[in-house]
Amino acid sequence: MNDEQRSILIASGMDVDAALKRFMNNAGLLLKHARRFPDEGTWGKLLAAIDAGDAEGGFAAAHTLKGITANLSLTALHDVTDAMTEDLRAGNVEAARGRLPEATAAYNAVCSALRQI
């Protein structure tokens, strides 16, 4: 990982040092997995579930995103998906829907960064 890639990832909300540690300091492996994230599909499932008022489906999608973002140390996106997971676990679709602007901004920042590297 070069300095420019590192800066882009940090600006997007990734804790690069924590991610590298999780990937045994293998930057190539980290980048390989991180680059897959924008096309992974769970974000769309979360949006569809919230739009449909489906707390159970939303919970499953939010929980999956929470895990993926934790593994990649995408801290800004992880924090909001963690909160959404708890909202949806409690069946509170409206609370999760209220977090969508923050989640969308974080998701778009991450995806934009990952498409640049």
Residue ranges per structural domain of the chain: 3-116
Q: What is the pLDDT of residues 67-102, one digit of tens each?
A: 999 999 999 999 999 999 999 999 999 999 999 999
pLDDT at 12 over 90: no
> Which pLDDT band holds residue 27 (cuts at 50, 70, 90)?
very high
Distance CA 115, CA 91 (A): 34
Q: How far is CA 97 from the centre of its chain?
A: 16
Q: What is the arithmetic mean of pLDDT over 106-110?
A: 95
pTM for this model (two decimals) = 0.91
N-terminal to C-terminal alpha carbon distance within the chain: 9
Q: Right CATH number for 3-116 from 1.50.10, 1.10.3470, 1.20.1410, 1.20.120?
A: 1.20.120
